[in-house]
C-alpha cells in the first residue's frame, strides 16, 4: 500500500456527509475515480481487499446453506428476450382475466430495460446478426439453461449463485459503490418444487441477510416493497435498507419470490414423484458493492473509515516505537505478528521511517479497527499499548496477545453495533399524523394498514417514499395514519438513494 498520488489532507467533516463520502473513498485508497468513464471506478488494492472480505462472508453463507457457485457468460443475445416477451403476453392475458396486480408492471419494465443496458452490436469489423447486451442481472442467461438442468423432482431445489460484474447504463448521478455503471454483484437464483418451498427459501435468505448485516454491524429495515416497487416478474419483493448518515435509505439487498411466473415462459418444468409435469417456483436474492458503501458511510467518522472487524482488510496494525533504541522491539513485534497471524488475524507491521503520529493518522484514515504500539517500556511491562479505532486506549498483556486482541475486536464490534443502533433510533421517528412537519434527514415510522391508493396519497402528501410493510410489526396495535383503524402493520417513509 503506497501513497501514490493522493493527498492525505482535507477530510471534510462527517457532518457534511455529502462532501465526506465521495472524498473518503479516495483518501482511504478504496478507489480511484480518475478512470475516464463516469460511474466506473478503479478498485485499488485496499478497497478490493475490503470487498473480497465482504464477499467471503457471502461465500461462507452460501456454503452453509448449500448453494453452488456457477459463472455465466456476461453477454446475452437479444433473441433470448423473446422468452420474456412471451412472459409479458401471458401476464397481459392474466391481467385481462383480473389476476394478481403484482404482475402488471412487467411489460413496462421490458420496455424500460432497453434504456438501461449496454449493447454489443459489433465485433471486430463485423456487425453482429444478433445484438448482445451486457448483463444487468442474469435471469435471462440462467433461465435459458435451467430447463436443461431440471428434469425431475430429484433435481430440486436447485440453488445457485454467482459473484460477477454486471452493467447498467445509469443516467442518474453516479456515486462510488452506491450508483455505478459496472457493478460488483452477487446474485442467487433458486428453483423449487412449489410455492411453499420457494417461500422457505426467502426465509433462509432473510436469515443470511441477518448474519451478514450483523457481521458488518449494520442495522437494517426489512420491508415488503409496495406493488409498484416490486421487481418486474416477481410476486413480491423484500428489500433490505440501511440508513445512511444523511438520512437517505440505501437498498443493500433484495429477495424476490417469482412463484411460477417465469417457469412457463422458459419451460422450467419438472416431473414430480407421480410422473406429473409441474412448473418450478423460483426466487432470487441480490446484493452488491453497496454493502461496502454502507460500511463506509455508516461507520466512518471525521478521521476516516472505521471497518467492522469482519470486513477489515487489516485487523491490527503494529507500530514499533523507538525500534532504533532496542532490538527487542522488532523481535517482539514480529513475534506478536506471527502469533496473531497464525490465529487467523490480518496483521500489518508499519515499520516505515515516519513519525508515530503520522502512522496513527494514516491507519485511522484507513479504518483499521485496532492499533498496537510496542516500545521498549511496553516490553519491560510485558504489555502492548492498544488503541481502538472507536476510541479508548489501554495496555494489553503480550503473554495472552491472541485472546486480548480477539477481545478488543469483539469490543469494537459491540461498540459499532451500539453506535449504529442508537443513531438509527435517533433518525427513525414516529409520525402519527400527516400534519407532521417533514424534516431533512429523518426517516418516519408509521402505522399503516391502508391500500395502494392510500400509500400513493401518503407519498404525495409527504414527498417521501414508502419503504413497504416492515417485516417486524408493532407489538401493540396503533391507529393507521390514514384511516385511524387499529393495526400492527409498521411502515416507513424516507428519502431513498
Going residue by residue from 167 to 206, which x/- string records binding to a copy of itself, judged by CB under 8 A?
x-x-x----------x-x----------------------
Residues 413-452 touching a copy of itself, rule: CB under 8 A, are none
3-class secondary structure per residue, 173-223: CCECCCECCEEEEEEEEEEECCHHHHHHHHHHHHHHHHHHHHHCCCCCEEE
Q: Determine the interface stretch with a copy of itself among 143-151, 226-234, 302-310, 421-429 (rule: CB under 8 A).
A: 143-151
Q: How far is the CB of 375 from a copy of itself (least distance, A)?
A: 26
Length of the chain measured in residues:
497
Beta-sheet pairing, 316-320 with 370-374? parallel
Residues in contact with a copy of itself, counted by CB under 8 A, come to a total of 61
Distances 457 to 8, 199, 447 between C-alpha atoms, Å? 48, 31, 15
| 230 interacts with a copy of itself by CB under 8 A | no
- How far apart CA 454 and CA 209 sit, in angstroms, is 30
Binding part of the chain for a copy of itself, among 97-105, 142-150, 295-303, 433-441 by CB under 8 A, reads 142-150
Q: Which of 14, 43, 361, 417 binds a copy of itself (CB under 8 A)?
A: 43
Q: Name residues contacting a copy of itself, limited to 50-109 (CB under 8 A).
A: 52, 68-75, 77, 80
Give start and end residues of each alpha helix (H) in 222-375: 263-266, 290-299, 327-342, 356-365
The Cα–Cα gap between 430 and 160 comes to 40
> Using CB atoms within 10 A of its CB, is residue 417 exposed (0-12), middle (13-18) or buried (19+)?
middle
Contact between 343 and a copy of itself (CB under 8 A)?
Answer: no
Where does this chain touch a copy of itself (CB under 8 A) — which range of 139-147, 245-253, 362-370, 413-421? 139-147
* Stretch of 138-146, 330-338, 382-390, 427-435 contacting a copy of itself, by CB under 8 A: 138-146
Give yes or no for a contact between 343 and 402, defined as CB atoms under 8 angstroms apart.
Answer: yes
Q: Which is nearer to a copy of itself, 71 or 276 (CB)?
A: 71
Q: Which is nearer to a copy of itself, 66 or 391 (CB)?
A: 66
Contact 447, 489 (CB under 8 A): yes
Task: Look at the block and give the residue holding cell 478504496.
Answer: 30
* 17 backbone dihedrals φ, ψ, rounded to 5°: -55, -40
By CB under 8 A, which span of 124-132, 252-260, 365-373, 379-387 interacts with a copy of itself?
124-132
> Which residues from 349-388 bind a copy of itself, rule CB under 8 A?
none
Cβ-based nearer residue to a copy of itself, 10 or 124: 124
- Choosing from 20, 21, 49, 469, the residue that interacts with a copy of itself (CB under 8 A) is 49
CA geometry: angle at 330 spanning 328 and 333, to 5°?
A: 105
Q: What is the binding site for a copy of itself (CB under 8 A)?
A: 1-5, 32, 34-37, 40-45, 48-49, 52, 68-75, 77, 80, 114-126, 132, 134, 141, 144-145, 148-151, 154-155, 158, 160, 165, 167, 169, 171, 182, 184
Amino acid at each position: 500500500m503506497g501513497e501514490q498520488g493522493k493527498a492525505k489532507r482535507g477530510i471534510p467533516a462527517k457532518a457534511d456527509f455529502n462532501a465526506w463520502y465521495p472524498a473518503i473513498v479516495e483518501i482511504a485508497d478504496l478507489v480511484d475515480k480518475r478512470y475516464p468513464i463516469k460511474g466506473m471506478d478503479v478498485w485499488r488494492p485496499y478497497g478490493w481487499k475490503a470487498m473480497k472480505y465482504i464477499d467471503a462472508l457471502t461465500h461462507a453463507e452460501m456454503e452453509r446453506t448449500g448453494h453452488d457457485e456457477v459463472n455465466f457468460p456476461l453477454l446475452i443475445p437479444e433473441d433470448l428476450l423473446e422468452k420474456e416477451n412471451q412472459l409479458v403476453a401471458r401476464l397481459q392475458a392474466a391481467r385481462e382475466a383480473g389476476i394478481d396486480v403484482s404482475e402488471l408492471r412487467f411489460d413496462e419494465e421490458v420496455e424500460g430495460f432497453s434504456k438501461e443496458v449496454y449493447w454489443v452490436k459489433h465485433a471486430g469489423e463485423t456487425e453482429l446478426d444478433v445484438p448482445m447486451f451486457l448483463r444487468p442481472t442474469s435471469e435471462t442467461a440462467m433461465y435459458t439453461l435451467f430447463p436443461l438442468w431440471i428434469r425431475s423432482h430429484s433435481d430440486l431445489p436447485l440453488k445457485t449463485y454467482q459473484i460477477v460484474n454486471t452493467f447498467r447504463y445509469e443516467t442518474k448521478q453516479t456515486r462510488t459503490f452506491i450508483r455505478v455503471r459496472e457493478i460488483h454483484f452477487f446474485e442467487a437464483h433458486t428453483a423449487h418444487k412449489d410455492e411453499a418451498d420457494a417461500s422457505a427459501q426467502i426465509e433462509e435468505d432473510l436469515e443470511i441477510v441477518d448474519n451478514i448485516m450483523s457481521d458488518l454491524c449494520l442495522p437494517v429495515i426489512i420491508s415488503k416493497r409496495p406493488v409498484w416497487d416490486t421487481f418486474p416478474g416477481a410476486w413480491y419483493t423484500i428489500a433490505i435498507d440501511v440508513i445512511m448518515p444523511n438520512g437517505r435509505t440505501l437498498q443493500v439487498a433484495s429477495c424476490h419470490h417469482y412463484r411460477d411466473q417465469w417457469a412457463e415462459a422458459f419451460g422450467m418444468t419438472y416431473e414430480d414423484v407421480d410422473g406429473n409435469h409441474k412448473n418450478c417456483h423460483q426466487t432470487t436474492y441480490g446484493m452488491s458493492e453497496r454493502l461496502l458503501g454502507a460500511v463506509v458511510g455508516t461507520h466512518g467518522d471525521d478521521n476516516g473509515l472505521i471497518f467492522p472487524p469482519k470486513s477489515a482488510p487489516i485487523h491490527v496494525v503494529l507500530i514499533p516505537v523507538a525500534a532504533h533504541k532496542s532490538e527487542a522491539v522488532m523481535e517482539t513485534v514480529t513475534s506478536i505478528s506471527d502469533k496473531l497471524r497464525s490465529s487467523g488475524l490480518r496483521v500489518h507491521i508499519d515499520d516505515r521511517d515516519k513519525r508515530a503520529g503520522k502512522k496513527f493518522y494514516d491507519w485511522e484514515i484507513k479504518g483499521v479497527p485496532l492499533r498496537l504500539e510496542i516500545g521498549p517500556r511496553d516490553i519491560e511491562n510485558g504489555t502492548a499499548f492498544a488503541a481502538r479505532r472507536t476510541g479508548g486506549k489501554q495496555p494489553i498483556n503480550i503473554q495472552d496477545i491472541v485472546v486480548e486482541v480477539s477481545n478488543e475486536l469483539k469490543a469494537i464490534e459491540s461498540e459499532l453495533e451500539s453506535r449504529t443502533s442508537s443513531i438509527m433510533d435517533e433518525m427513525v421517528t414516529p409520525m402519527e399524523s400527516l400534519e407532521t412537519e417533514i424534516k431533512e434527514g429523518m426517516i418516519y415510522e408509521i402505522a399503516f394498514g391502508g391500500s395502494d391508493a392510500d400509500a400513493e396519497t401518503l407519498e404525495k402528501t409527504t414527498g417521501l417514499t414508502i419503504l413497504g410493510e416492515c417485516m417486524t410489526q408493532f407489538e401493540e396495535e396503533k391507529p393507521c395514519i390514514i384511516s385511524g383503524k387499529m393495526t400492527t402493520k409498521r411502515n416507513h417513509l424516507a428519502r431513498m438513494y
